[in-house]
Structure 1
Amino acid sequence: MFKNIAIGIAMGLLIMGGIWGLVHLMGDSRPEPELTAQSMPGDSKGVMDLICELDLDLDGQLALGIKENEPSRITMAQIDFEKKSGWYQGKISISESRTGTLQLMGTRLKIYRPAMFQRFGVMITGEEFVLDRKTGSFVQSLSISDGRKVNLIKGTCAKVIKPPF
């Protein structure tokens, strides 16, 4: 009698376990967690070297009255998570010698540096670039003394995994 009860309990547990497993396997419809800087620990430590293909933004070019047409260019950029800073190369850039401050905003990395110089007939009070790690999109903006923020350069960046030399 006890043998039949024990077999019944064991079979009941096996059936319940199987049903529980199927429910969780088939019914797990939770959305994937959003990819954020905090969820990518490998990319939020050390230094991230980037190579970018950048162009002048037409709207920014018109807003600042820039007449020259700049060809697209390939340039380097770097994000240093330990120092919370970053830079990229270019004529109007946050240079390696005067890096900007890093701010993490989900999948976006924002590098900002206050400025005070005259260019394109306006006083520039700040410069920044935002890099979206999910899409590779790069946008460089200038803050103007009249309160406007003008997107001047846009493009795409990719992480350099192994230098080519």
Structure 2
Amino acid sequence: MTIMEKPGAHGTLIAPDTLEIRRVLPAPPERVWAWLTDSELRRKWLAAGEMTLVPGAECELVWRNDELTDPPGTRPGDIGDENRMTCRVIAVDPPRSLSITWGKASDVTFTLAPRGEGTLLTIVHARLPDRASLLGVSAGWHAHLGVLVSLVEGSKPAPFWDAFTALRTDYDQRLP
């Protein structure tokens, strides 16, 4: 297990506009795939939204981060209680990879690989348009993956917003 795969490990820049973050989850790829693609499961750690797994299909992701953890923590004043974004499926290879547009500005690829009895989940978020976006998605993916790991492990996740706020400050100091 590399440092990037350990729980809580920070994402790294693999290009000036591209973040990569990895986690090993204690579940087979098929189960992790369900957490990525099933709206009811995905809403528990990231965002709701029905997704048709066909290239070109659009989906709307709906974030209600106040509902991810109990307690939710203190939401930053610059973020609303609900956020929506239209995405489009770029490529799909169940249960190994899924690529989607991330709004109009960037793309995200999820790759799943067996790792022992678990799954290595790698997220690559590319074409981030500016530093503010880079910091937001770095802290966001890190905090959301913390919730996912806890849910898959059957443990209680830490307050989402408190983790996000601390991580946004941390990434601001770590990333060029």
The TM-score normalised by the length of structure 1 is 0.32
- Say which structure, 1 or 2, has more relative contact order (CA 8 Å, 6+ apart): 2
- Which has the greater radius of gyration? 1
Which structure shows the bigger proportion of residues in strand conformation?
Answer: 1
